[in-house]
Structure 1
Amino acid sequence: MDYSILEQVMRRAALEAGTRIMEIYNAKDFEVRVKSDQSPVTAADEAADALIRASLSEAFPGTLIVTEEESESHVERAENFLIVDPLDGTKEFIRRRGDFTVNIAWVEGGLPVRGVVYAPARGRLFYTRASGQSVEESGPLDPSSPGEIAPIMVASPDNSALRVVASKSHRDAATDDYIARYDVKTLVSAGSSLKFCLVATGEADLYPRLGRTMEWDTAAGHAVLAGAGGQVIRFDDHSPLIYGKPGYANPFFIACAPGAALR
């Protein structure tokens, strides 16, 4: 994989998908349907998925593209593959709360090594450069011309005053019980893969997820966090979270900055 081309293609696809998502988001109303797994889907999910798949297929012919909205892809396997959640945080989108993202990642040898997370309603764009360093791009976000790019890096956690981020739509008693083990300074609720990015930028130290997720939910955020010096590990044994699992389902996990004393 040519990482320079990958960076350009993923960035452009995410921004173009974000533009289409916001057109639907800003409309007076939109239809919400329920998929077979009882999760919601909208025209924005489907339009963004079609746009991203077309961009990736053209740039990387013959490469496996696993995407949430294409159930046929969920049974395909490859050592290296692209994985997409065209609209992560559909519930946030439906409620018009803004915490939704476009996620695109490249998985190589079981790990997401490059990724982009774009939060169009928040105007925040995070991605890994060809070098592997994660950045946040600001200013006018133009698909054809990068704006101001700044490297991002995790913080050094103060274990007597941890900053924790947790799910906005999926937080439960088990998560609250786990967070209660720590000395917490701040606890912020956020939606979608933005939680990974808040750890990556040093705005939070710890993100525990004790609930169901799929690899397309996490791969892009995982890549951004890793490129900022952070880690994503399994909740049960603290081993690295690996990708390409049968069915693409994740175990519980913890995303954090190194130095966080896990309990």
Structure 2
Amino acid sequence: MTAIGREMKELIPELSELCREVMEEVIKIYDEGGKLKVNRKTDGSPVTNADMIANEIIVNGLKKITPGIPIISEEMPLPEYRDRKNSDYLWMVDPIDGTYGLIERSGDFTINLALIKDHAPVIGMVGVPVSGEIYSAVAGGGAQVEKNGHRSHLEANIFSKKDRGLRFICSPNQEMEKLTNYFEKFDQPRLKYRSGTIKFLLVASGQADIYPSIRRINEWDTAAGQLIIEEAGGVVLRADNDQPLKYNKPDLRNPPFIAYGDIKDFP
């Protein structure tokens, strides 16, 4: 029994139901493009009515499932560090990760939920509205994907850095020229591009081997995906010191990082 009064795995069915509810509401807006309304935040990034609807459903749902656990969401005012630094648990939420994918209708957008304890994710869940898939992981309990009531265990691909043709999945929005020297270390690497948390899911499911990120993206962008990769046999590490990403930091932005599948010769 945990401090939240329940075993972690016991939360998964309720969280899945909540995630499914959000996905259904978001896909209604996505399928009827005229319903999507786009505004701009103070930093210039886009936010849509779908983001706000998803946020409301998630926050209300989490308050019922885990009463009293603080929630950090991209679409809510962020609490000061002094008010959250001593939290035993907290939720890290991105109601829609990949808002550009929603707006541009690429399909690369997800619903991200992660429960943080001791600066690490202990529950991670990612819903993919366009496919209907829900990926989930519990620390020490493995990772799975569920679609149409069928659950499959996730296993990252086993590989060596020396293997020819390793599959890299990259963000189309980062400055790829800064990664030129990195790719030269590998034998005929194959590069593909996808947006948002989809990249984590491709590594966790064995469809990609390595995801390098030189961008400083936020904790709610990575927490759920990190745990899903870890529980599928991979690792997500800072690019500067090969340590796992940490959560609920004073600065909620992550340093550059590299997500690996089940790499045999690390470091």
* Same fold by TM-score greater than 0.5: yes
My pick for the range that moved more, 35-44 or 175-184, is 175-184
My pick for the range that moved more, 168-177 or 23-32, is 168-177
Aligned to 1:143: none
Aligned to 1:89: 98
Percent of aligned pairs sharing the same letter? 34
| 1:154 alignment partner, one of 153, 156, 165 | 156
1:247–1:226: structure 2 CA closer, same or farther, 3 Å change rule? same
Aligned to 2:56: 50
Q: How many angstroms does 1:175 deviate by?
A: 3.4
User: C-alpha separation between the residues in 2 aligned to 1:10 and 1:255?
Assistant: 25
RMSD of aligned residue pairs (Cα, Å): 1.9
My pick for the range that moved more, 181-190 or 30-39, is 181-190
Q: Deviations over 1:81-116 (max 9, x none)?
A: 111001000011110000100000111111112111
Letter aligned with residue 153 of structure 1: E
- Aligned residue pairs total 256
Aligned to 1:59: 65
Q: Deviations over 1:148-176 (max 9, x none)?
A: 11111111114322111111334532234
Q: How many angstroms does 1:11 deviate by?
A: 1.3
CA contact (8 A) 2:183 2:189 kept: no
| 1:107 alignment partner, one of 108, 116, 124 | 116
1:261–1:129: structure 2 CA closer, same or farther, 3 Å change rule? closer
My pick for the range that moved more, 124-133 or 28-37, is 124-133
Deviating above 4 A after TM superposition, structure 1's stretches of 4 or more consecutive aligned residues are 260-263
Aligned to 1:207: 211
- The 3-state SS of whatever aligns with 1:202 is coil
TM-score, with structure 2 as normaliser: 0.89
1:181–1:262: structure 2 CA closer, same or farther, 3 Å change rule? farther
- The 3-state SS of whatever aligns with 1:237 is coil
User: C-alpha separation between the residues in 1 aligned to 2:191 and 2:265?
Assistant: 17
User: C-alpha separation between the residues in 1 aligned to 2:174 and 2:141?
Assistant: 30
Counterpart mapping for 1:16-27 below 5 A: 16-27=21-32
| 2:260 alignment partner, one of 249, 256, 259 | 256
Instruction: For structure 2, list consecutive stretches of 5 or more residues without a partner in the other structure.
Output: none
Aligned to 1:168: 172
My pick for the range that moved more, 74-83 or 195-204, is 74-83
Letter aligned with residue 160 of structure 1: D
